[in-house]
Structure 1
Amino acid sequence: MAKVYTIASGKGGTGKTTTTINLGTSLAQMGHRTTVLDADLGMANLGLLLGLEEEPVTLHEVLSGDQRIKNAVYEGPEGLQVVPAGLTLEGFQKADPEKLQDALSYIIDNTEYLLIDAPAGLSKDSVIPLAVADEVLLVVNPELSSMADGLKTRVMTDKVGSDVGGIVLTRAGSAGDDLDVSRVEDLLEAEVLVSVPEDAEVRRSASYKKPVVLHSPNSPASQAYKKLAHKLTDEEFVEEAPAQEGEDDGFVNKMAKAIFG
């Protein structure tokens, strides 16, 4: 039986999908059978960030009744199992979110950890992923608007009978931070499990459609996601030495090669 975490936020752009991908990849690296599922049916990005945007069967086809869930599971990095949502408007219109819980039964029986990338906001599509979770991880930025939206998600989580397992504080240390960790914990009444620092390597890894924990494993953000994975599994985390300045600094050359051959 899988442990189900729903990765949620009150607003878009907090790093929810990035957290899902990198936490999932970190768990897979540690030897845990892990599946990530994109439940954001309208604004699906998880498959896109992993290079799975051309796959013919997605969660859209499953929720429309045209396919079985096992046909929408693809192998990602480090053996991570990935269930992407589709990118077409037609697929979104045909998908029935009410069928999500039934679709999850197959995955839960065939994985150790299931991470659900939930839609932002408080629509019907977002409530179902909250309700099926063993624990909800709130992804927020250290600013008041993100806290306000995160608090609404916290309240909705309580209403559907699920528990908030903790907070992932992303973009920590960025310019214009309004709040520190203790204030975030006070506002959302939950523990900050990890602070993920602002890190340019996250954007760089996205351009390669590769998790930052693989693209730049010693970067500050990578270390934070790995630390979170170890915390959730109660395993000891040994922080790796940061890369020296100039080490693995060939981003421009790599990008030019990718573009121009």
Structure 2
Amino acid sequence: MGRSIVFASGKGGTGKTTTIANVGVALAQFGKEVIVIDADITMANLSLILGMEDIPITLHDVLSGEADLRDAVYEGPAGVKVIPGGLSLEKIKKVKNPEKLKELIREISSMADFVLIDAPAGLEMTSITALLIGKELILVTNPEISAITDSLKTKLVAEKLGTLPLGTVLNRVTNEKTELTREEIEAILEVPVLAVIPEDPEVKRASAYGIPLVIKNPTSPGAIAYKQLAAKLAGVRYAPPEPENPIKRVFKALFGGERR
């Protein structure tokens, strides 16, 4: 039986979906069987970040009883398996019982080493359902007091539901004086900081191309941080690659190869 981990945030805009996409791909690169699920019933966009468009069968079809679970599993980058959410308003209306997710997760957990669940932001009913279906929780937040406060609420609800908080991922960190420190955040949330993802323009660029950062630019600071988190979850050693020489990078861009 694989581990089922919910990635959740107290509010939108923390970079949760980008985080789960890159961690999922990184785990697959480490040789793990991984399934990522877009459990955000109303604002599904995980498949877009993974570069998967025009998906015929989605989680919405499964929840509405119109499709079998295995028909909604697709292969994504690096071999990660993806169960995408739907973008159609009509399909959203057909989802009568989001709690059916619990049954699906039990079935899916036997198919992979890791099942990563992208939960809706906030604490609406669909968010709480997503928290309920995972055995473990990773909070994705920004180092701002409002985001940390919302994350604390999410953590407390998860604990009441019996979901184990593993820790938090600090995303879009700039180290400005207005940001809370790692130590302050750990004291407030009472969980360890598992990873610090720096503000990295390459993250936005990769998302625009629909290519996970760990594939598009594996030597960027953000990609290295995602890989380190995945290695920690998988229990494997990971040595970050050496940053590419700027002159070498210019020659590759100009001539399509290495300088000789």
Please classify the TM superposition score into its range, dividing by the shorter chain length.
over 0.9
Superposed, 1:1-261 pairs within 5 Å as 1-95=1-95, 96-173=97-174, 175=176, 177-245=178-246, 248=249
Instruction: Go from structure 1 to structure 2 and tell me whether the alpha carbon gap of 1:247 and 1:65 turns closer, same or farther (over 3 Å shift).
Output: farther
- Residues 121-167 of structure 1: per-residue CA shift (max 9 Å, x gap): 10110112211222100001000110111011011111101110011
Structure 1 stretches of 4+ with a deviation exceeding 6 A read none
CA distance in 2, matches of 1:202, 1:52: 17
SS of 2:194's partner is strand
Does the 8 Å contact 1:62/1:103 carry over to 2? Answer: no
More moved, 190-199 vs 230-239: 230-239
Query: TM-score, length-normalised on structure 2?
Result: 0.93
Does the 8 Å contact 1:7/1:138 carry over to 2? Answer: yes
Instruction: Give the aligned partner of residue 257 of structure 2.
Output: none
Which letter maps to 1:142?
P
CA distance in 2, matches of 1:113, 1:133: 11
SS of 2:87's partner is coil
Does the 8 Å contact 1:37/1:82 carry over to 2? Answer: yes
SS of 1:92's partner is helix
- Residues 175-219 of structure 1: per-residue CA shift (max 9 Å, x gap): 564201001101111000110000001001011101000000000
Instruction: Go from structure 1 to structure 2 and tell me whether the alpha carbon gap of 1:202 and 1:177 turns closer, same or farther (over 3 Å shift).
Output: farther
CA distance in 1, matches of 2:250, 2:137: 36
CA distance in 2, matches of 1:114, 1:79: 14
Which letter maps to 1:149?
D
More moved, 237-246 vs 220-229: 237-246
Which letter maps to 2:64?
S
Report percent identity of matched pairs.
44
CA distance in 2, matches of 1:70, 1:8: 25
5+ residue gaps, structure 2, are 255-260
More moved, 15-24 vs 104-113: 104-113
CA distance in 2, matches of 1:88, 1:45: 12
Does the 8 Å contact 1:53/1:87 carry over to 2? Answer: no
5+ residue gaps, structure 1, are 254-261
